[in-house]
Amino acid sequence: MLWYGATDGAGSMTPDYVICLECESPVYVFEWKGGVLKEAVCEICGNEDPQQFATEDEYEDLAMDARFDRSPTTPADD
Tens digits of residue pLDDT in 3-56: 444 555 555 789 999 999 999 999 999 999 999 999 999 999 999 999 999 999
Domains: count for the chain: 1
Mean pLDDT of 44-69: 91
Q: Is residue 73 part of a domain?
A: no
Which pLDDT belongs to residue 63? Answer: 86
Q: Is residue 22 part of a domain?
A: yes
Which pLDDT belongs to residue 46? Answer: 97
Which pLDDT belongs to residue 67? Answer: 77
Q: Is residue 4 part of a domain?
A: no
Q: Is residue 56 part of a domain?
A: yes
Q: Is residue 44 part of a domain?
A: yes
Q: Is residue 35 part of a domain?
A: yes
State which residues form the domain around 24.
18-68
Q: Is residue 78 part of a domain?
A: no
Rounded-to-5 percentages of helix, strand, coil across the chain: 20, 25, 60
Which pLDDT belongs to residue 4? Answer: 45
The span from the CA of 76 to the CA of 35, in Å, is 44
The span from the CA of 58 to the CA of 18, in Å, is 9
